[in-house]
Amino acid sequence: MSMDRPIDGIDGRTEPGPGRSPAGAVPGARIVLDNVVKSFTSAGSAKSVLALKDVSLSIEDGAFVALLGPSGCGKTTILRLVNGLILPDSGTVRVSGKAPAPGPNAGFVFQSFRLIPWTNVLGNVAFALSATRLSGAEKTERARRYVELVGLGRFAEAYPSELSGGMKQRVALARALATEPDILLMDEPFASIDAQTRELMQIELMRLWTMRRSVALFVTHSVDEAILLADKIVLMGPRPGRILEVIDVGLERPRWSYDLRAHPRYIELRNYLWERIRDLVMNDPGSDFYGRDLGVMSSSGRSD
Amino acid sequence: MIALYRLAFLGLLIFLWWVASINVGRNLVPSPLATFQAAQVMIGEGRLATALWDSLSIYLSGYAMAIVVAIPIGVAMGAFRVLGKTVELYLYGLAATPRVAFIPLVIVLLGLGFEAKVFIVFLGAIMPILINTYAGVLDADEELIEMARSVGLRRTRIFVQIVLPSAVPFVIVGLRLGATIGLINTVVAELYTAVRGLGGLLAIYGNTFRMAEYFVVVLTLAAIGIVVTEALRYLETRLGRWRKAA
């Protein structure tokens, strides 16, 4: 397997050990996963699938962390565990030192927007405040502020069916930010919007996140997106889902103020990550590309 | 604009009716004019109003009862999956049984009067409302439910704020089906029990070949159908305004 290959040349990159990433479980960090195992039984079959195997990870306050890897490596499962939507089979998940429970302390941005269709933009954002102790007027005021913040002030009364994909995702982002959470969880939030809107939304997200630096966990398939946004990239492998290594990005912020894609560090990281992912996919019997020689593609084209 | 087209289409229908009345023979299909005159007489004598009131009170009572019983049961079946799974098989069986089969039993139990008729309407209208409410509750979007959980809402609030509103379009479909079947059963009840109301007039005029009067009753029933379904359509658009833009 490719993960056994010796690695060198890029700082922050360390030899991964099976099951325990270099960043391991550090007590006292905001988010701590310690030897987490999680499997799912799919409907209609008795066999259970191992979604995460011995995952350990620590995330400090104020860090923007990208979870990067091919499909089926348990990226989303980590978000749901950290949100407390599901419980691990074994191992522990700690957020601010406690077992996580869903609520206003964490904001979740889903890939499929998940807006309430019968409620307008303002109502959708205010919905996130349902479980807070704010009064009705305070909720409306707060929701309006965040709707303005994502630039949808004119559409506050519009219903989701009247919005474009990019606008829907802004609403979802406003909803996640409105509780002013300690943790922002994002599950491929820009995967289903067009390429141009995605680039603008990435900058928008960076702007909003810099205003109030919570811990951000960002799941993505895209190498470029991970490098553009994250302080740390957690590279994951599939079947069973596991952490391969944690890489410090080490690129200066704000990243939209210079030509990021021409930066040597960017190119170096991008080539390395793309190569690792290609190896992962080709050596994964569960992948469509298993055993195919994709070598010719490695130096051309974008990885996403 | 659509109102104008509808009016023109009504004109066409009346014209075709008139053509039919000339060609088929007056004893079977009365002319529009004869029907109109019959209607004037029946309204003048108050016969139509009495029958209409009889039928409407039976129809609306039975329909209202069906709504009041069906929606809570449908919601409960959707909320408690075990209950729903246990009962649904028998409900589908009951829904498929022609309700006319129960009429002799209803007559034995409740007689030939108002209660029996209301119960027959109730039997017809309840099933589509119940089954659609149940389906609507089951159909709630799992992704929205998970979103609400993530926000920190407890199960009962998720049920009230996400599951129930998403069932509303289904419930309205059920209400419309129930309204149609309820109206059919109103006439059936009036034909099979004490012969009164609009169904009673149908029987009397039909048996005595007074086709102009008979047609007045048929048109009155059609008018009730139109008013009720249009009212429900209005309710549907009011509640589904968010859908308009899609």
Choice between A259 and A303, residue whose per-residue pLDDT is larger: A259
Judged against a pLDDT cut of 80, whether residue A45 lies above it is answered with no
* Contact criterion met (CB < 8 Å) for B241 and A159: yes
Alpha helices in chain A (DSSP H): 75-83, 121-127, 136-149, 165-178, 195-211, 223-229, 264-282
- Looking at CA atoms only, how far is residue B182 from chain A in angstroms? 30
Least CB-CB distance to B147: which of A101, A114, A159? A114
pLDDT band at B245 (very low <50, low <70, confident <90, very high): very low
* Contact criterion met (CB < 8 Å) for B151 and A131: yes
pLDDT band at A27 (very low <50, low <70, confident <90, very high): low
Q: What is the mean pLDDT of residues A168-196?
A: 89
Confidence (pLDDT) at B75: 95
Judged against a pLDDT cut of 50, whether residue B165 lies above it is answered with yes
| A70 interfacial to chain B (CB closer than 8 Å) | no
Residue A94 lies in a domain: no
Backbone angles phi, psi at A190, to 5 degrees: -110, 10
Q: What is the mean pLDDT of residues B196-220?
A: 89
| B45 interfacial to chain A (CB closer than 8 Å) | no
Least CB-CB distance to A102: which of B150, B166, B168? B150
Confidence (pLDDT) at A44: 66
Percent of chain B predicted with pLDDT > 70: 98
Confidence (pLDDT) at A23: 52
Q: For residue B35, what is the DSSP state? A: H
E strands, chain A, are 31-41, 48-59, 64-68, 90-95, 106-109, 183-187, 215-220, 232-237, 242-248
Residue with tokens 């919905």: A127
Terminal alpha carbon distance of chain A: 23
| A123 interfacial to chain B (CB closer than 8 Å) | no
Residues near B59 by beta carbon (within 8 Å), at least 6 away in sequence: B121, B182, B183, B186, B224
Confidence (pLDDT) at A218: 93
> B7-11, B26-30, B181-185: which range is least confident on average?
B26-30
Residue A121 lies in a domain: no
Q: Which CATH number belongs to the domain containing residue A288 in this structure?
A: 3.40.50.300
Which residues are B223's β-sheet partners? Answer: none
Domains identified in chain A, total number: 1
Least CB-CB distance to A116: which of B144, B157, B243? B144
Choice between A128 and A8, residue whose per-residue pLDDT is larger: A128
| B147 interfacial to chain A (CB closer than 8 Å) | yes
pLDDT band at A20 (very low <50, low <70, confident <90, very high): very low
Judged against a pLDDT cut of 70, whether residue A215 lies above it is answered with yes
ipTM confidence: 0.81
Q: Which domains does chain B have, with CATH numbers?
A: 33-243 (1.10.3720.10)
Judged against a pLDDT cut of 50, whether residue A221 lies above it is answered with yes
* Contact criterion met (CB < 8 Å) for B242 and A120: yes
Residue A44 lies in a domain: no
Residues near B218 by beta carbon (within 8 Å), at least 6 away in sequence: B202
Judged against a pLDDT cut of 50, whether residue A90 lies above it is answered with yes
Distance between CA atoms of residues A51 and A241, nearest Å: 5
Q: Count CB atoms within 10 A of the CB of residue B117.
A: 31
Q: Count CB atoms within 10 A of the CB of residue A123.
A: 17
Judged against a pLDDT cut of 90, whether residue B74 lies above it is answered with yes
Which residues are A217's β-sheet partners? Answer: A65, A185
Distance between CA atoms of residues A287 and A243, nearest Å: 18
Confidence (pLDDT) at A199: 85
Count of CB contacts below 8 A, A vs B?
58
pLDDT band at B113 (very low <50, low <70, confident <90, very high): confident
| A249 interfacial to chain B (CB closer than 8 Å) | no
Length of chain B: 246
Residues near B14 by beta carbon (within 8 Å), at least 6 away in sequence: B32
Q: What is the mean pLDDT of residues A99-121?
A: 90
| B142 interfacial to chain A (CB closer than 8 Å) | no
Choose from A187-191, A283-287, A290-294, B64-68 the range with maximum mean pLDDT. Answer: B64-68
Confidence (pLDDT) at A300: 44
- B contacts of A103 (beta carbons < 8 Å): 151-152
Domain that holds residue A227: 2-24+60-87+99-105+181-297
Judged against a pLDDT cut of 50, whether residue A290 lies above it is answered with yes
Judged against a pLDDT cut of 70, whether residue A299 lies above it is answered with no
Confidence (pLDDT) at B111: 84
Residue with tokens 């039997």: B123
| A128 interfacial to chain B (CB closer than 8 Å) | yes
- A contacts of B245 (beta carbons < 8 Å): 158-159, 161-162
Distance between CA atoms of residues A65 and A67, nearest Å: 7
| A120 interfacial to chain B (CB closer than 8 Å) | yes
Residue A139 lies in a domain: no
pLDDT band at A8 (very low <50, low <70, confident <90, very high): very low
Which residues are A37's β-sheet partners? Answer: A90
Q: What is the mean pLDDT of residues A79-104?
A: 89
Confidence (pLDDT) at A10: 43
pLDDT band at B80 (very low <50, low <70, confident <90, very high): very high
Judged against a pLDDT cut of 60, whether residue A24 lies above it is answered with yes
Query: Could you tell me which chain A residue has the CA closest to the CA of B151?
Result: A103
Residue A115 lies in a domain: no
* Contact criterion met (CB < 8 Å) for A161 and B147: no
Least CB-CB distance to B165: which of A85, A106, A118? A118
Q: What is the mean pLDDT of residues A81-102?
A: 89
Long-range Cβ contacts of A293-300 (<8 Å, 24+ apart): A298/A274
* Contact criterion met (CB < 8 Å) for A114 and B144: yes
Sheet holding A242-248, edge to edge: A106-109, A183-187, A215-220, A64-68, A232-237, A242-248
Distance between CA atoms of residues A212 and A189, nearest Å: 19
* Contact criterion met (CB < 8 Å) for A131 and B165: no
